[in-house]
């Protein structure tokens, strides 16, 4: 498997360590939210037979966040990670217009967003909310 992160090409051992780091990040996110009992990460090895049929494409799937898995290739992870502050800022700016399962879910998500986008939280009172 060839994986390049921030311009550095990783060998197979480094790539697997990186994926395991992603799995730990998901576990950390699970501990921080109320609805995490069934979120899991699966490595779909290139050419492998997947549970339920199909062949692995050398990607990673996060399951348990909806009806279908969120599947991505390793090279997409840095792009997704780079968007997290913008996602957090959007959540903070539009919290009252978003759908929440429970008040606890809203508070834990907003707490997470404030840690990731502290400048957005400070500017929230002066910036208009983003609308669709």
Give 22's contacts (C-beta < 8 A, 6+ positions apart): 41, 60, 77
- Among 32, 39, 118, 41, which residue's Cα sits nearest to residue 72? 41
88 and 117 together in one domain = yes
Q: How many domains does the chain have?
A: 2
pLDDT band per the 50, 70, 90 thresholds, residue 98: very high
In this predicted model, what pLDDT tens digit does every residue of 40-81 receive, in sequence order? 888 888 888 877 777 888 888 888 888 888 899 989 989 988
* Residue 130 included in any domain: no
pLDDT at residue 125 greater than cutoff 60: no
For residues 45 and 12, the answer to whether their CB atoms sit within 8 Å is no
What pLDDT score does 10 carry?
Answer: 81
For residues 107 and 33, the answer to whether their CB atoms sit within 8 Å is no
pLDDT band per the 50, 70, 90 thresholds, residue 88: very high
pLDDT at residue 128 greater than cutoff 90: no
* Residue 84 included in any domain: yes
Q: For residues 113 and 99, what is the distance between their CA atoms, to the nearest angstrom? A: 15
For residues 58 and 1, the answer to whether their CB atoms sit within 8 Å is yes
* Residue 129 included in any domain: no
* Residue 128 included in any domain: no
Mean pLDDT of the chain, nearest integer:
79
91 and 34 together in one domain = no
Least confident of 18-27, 53-62, 120-129: 120-129
Dihedral pair phi/psi, residue 26, rounded to 5°: -65, -40
What pLDDT score does 42 carry?
Answer: 84
Burial 44-61 (b: 16+ CB within 10 A, else e): beeeeeeeeeeeeebbbb
Domain range for 92 is: 80-123
* Residue 17 included in any domain: yes
Rounded to 5°, angle at Cα 43 from 74 and 53: 120
18 and 59 together in one domain = yes
61 and 99 together in one domain = no
20 and 60 together in one domain = yes
88 and 57 together in one domain = no
For residues 91 and 98, the answer to whether their CB atoms sit within 8 Å is yes
pLDDT higher for 100 or 26? 100
pLDDT higher for 12 or 130? 12
68 and 85 together in one domain = no
């Amino acid at each position: 498997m060839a994986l390049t992160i921030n311009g550095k090409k990783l060998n197979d051992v480094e790539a697997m360590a990186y994926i395991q780091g992603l799995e730990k990040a998901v576990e950390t996110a699970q501990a921080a939210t109320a609805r995490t009992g069934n979120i899991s990460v699966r490595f779909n090895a290139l050419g492998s037979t997947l549970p339920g049929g199909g062949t692995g494409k050398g990607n990673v799937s996060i399951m348990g966040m909806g009806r279908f898995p969120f599947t991505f290739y390793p090279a997409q992870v840095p792009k997704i990670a780079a968007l997290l502050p913008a996602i957090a800022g959007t959540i903070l700016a539009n919290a009252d217009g978003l759908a929440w399962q429970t008040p606890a879910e809203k508070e834990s998500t907003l707490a997470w967003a404030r840690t990731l986008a502290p400048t957005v939280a400070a500017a929230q009172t002066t910036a208009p909310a983003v609308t669709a």
